[in-house]
Amino acid sequence: MANLQQSLSLNPSFVGAPATPQQALAGVSSAAVAAAQQAAKDRKLASAEQLVLELGNADLRENALLELSKKREIFQDLAPLLWNSFGTIAALLQEIVSIYPVLSPPTLTPAASNRVCNALALLQDYERSRAGWVMLMGSNKSRLYPYDWSLGLGFWMGQCVASHPDTRIHFLNAHIPLYLYPFLNTTSKTRPFEYLRLTSLGVIGALVKVDDTEVINFLLSTEIIPLCLRTMEMGSELSKTVATFIMQKILLDDVGLRYICATAERFFAVGRVLATMVASLAEQPSTRLLKHIIRCYLRLSDNPRACEALKSCLPEMLRDGTFIPCLRDDQTTRRWLQQLLLNVSSPGRISVMQGGLDHILTS
């Protein structure tokens, strides 16, 4: 910023009209634009600091939450600000906890759900994994924003305050994810609950995106798996996808794979839910969900005992070409499926399977 200002003042032609259109297009305008953008960002940050302070005041909190949730481009800088400012995290936790009384019996209203989802969104950071979430969530905005709620942030923001490199460890040490578990434990299928589950899963999903064994260890110690399995079993397609994504990330970690394959009960609990989802996909196809399911199976097949078990319990539909049309445009997932079938085929069947699948997939 200082450098930019300096170069602008040292070279007046940069500030005034550029000599040529080329010059205008090249250095001048981009320098000026960058300076203006930085200035705008600084202003936003200054007003964000004000809003963060307002979070501590119960009367101003709702509006401050809403305004902060609109400032996506400074979220990166917001994580440490939120964490280090006095009373802010406590205020956010207060928002989260204030919903608990209406969870059971389920009387959550859309307005209350929206409000707490705004609070959850602040626990996440937008820029870092926007691409990942866009990919995961698809581009159908109406599904992302079931309510006319300000910006449906939870899922467009990737990393949590927790997964911000400077604040993640504090986030875990403070056990903040645990405050979300009561939301994941709900079973009401109404939209406010569904949305609350989805947003909470979004926070956990943002956490596991960083591929940090610490995060996985923490989540495993908090019994996240039964909660994920429940959503994978009964959630909407979107929350199933996020829950399966979390399961995939846990499995991809060596500690996670070992944990899940440590007992037959655990393995079969996961295997049964994956198989149930495969069966339901035959009726309601979803390529993105299928992708995560296949990746989970493939990873399970890396464990020798799980691989042995999959030889008999892998759903027939994954073997018989049911999902070929679904995977037509997704070469990566086709490869995963091919590798999975290879891994679980008995030695004598390998060549047949490989040839057979190649034939099916390329025809």
Interaction site with ligand TRP (CB under 6 A): 223, 225-226, 260, 266, 269-270
CB 115 within 8 A of CB 153: no
Nearer to ligand TRP, 74 or 257 (CB): 257
| Rounded Cα–Cα distance for residues 41 and 37 (Å) | 6
Closest approach of ligand TRP to the CB of residue 124, in Å: 26
Task: Name the minimum Å distance from CB 261 to ligand TRP.
Answer: 9
| Closer of 130 and 266 to ligand TRP (Cβ) | 266
Cβ neighbours of residue 185 under 8 Å, at least 6 residues apart?
227, 230
Amino acid (1-letter code) at residue 105: P
**Backbone phi and psi for residue 124, each to the nearest 5 degrees, phi listed first:** -115, 165
CB closest to ligand TRP, residue no: 266
* 56-59-60 Cα angle (round to 5): 65
Q: Cα 127 vs. chain centroid, distance in angstroms?
A: 12
State the minimum distance, in angstroms, from the CB of residue 310 to ligand TRP.
15
Q: How far is the CB of 188 from ligand TRP (least distance, A)?
A: 22
Token pair of 24 as six digits = 């205008």
With beta carbons less than 8 A apart as the criterion, state whether 293 and 250 touch: no
Cα-to-chain-centroid distance, residue 218? 17
User: For residues 96 and 225, which CB has a smaller minimum distance to ligand TRP in the complex?
Assistant: 225
Q: Which is nearer to ligand TRP, 196 or 225 (CB)?
A: 225
In the complex, least distance from residue 223 CB atom to ligand TRP, rounded to whole angstroms = 5
CB nearer to ligand TRP: give 225 or 344: 225
Q: Considering the complex, state which of residue 270 and residue 289 has its C-beta at the smaller distance from ligand TRP.
A: 270
**Smaller CB separation from ligand TRP, 122 or 306:** 306
For residue 218, the minimal CB distance to ligand TRP (Å) is 15
CB of 336 to ligand TRP, least distance (A): 21
Least CB distance to ligand TRP at residue 286 (A): 23
**In the complex, least distance from residue 251 CB atom to ligand TRP, rounded to whole angstroms:** 10
Nearer to ligand TRP by C-beta: 106 or 226? 226
Which pair of structure tokens corresponds to residue 155? Answer: 């899922």
Closest CA to 198 of 232, 155, 160, 157: 155
Residues 6+ apart with CB under 8 A from 235: 194, 197, 198, 243
Tell the smallest beta-carbon distance from residue 194 to ligand TRP (Å).
Answer: 23
Choice between 154 and 271, CB closer to ligand TRP: 271
Closest to ligand TRP by CB, 203 vs 274, is 274
User: Is the four-CA dihedral 26, 29, 33, 39 of positive or negative sign?
Assistant: positive
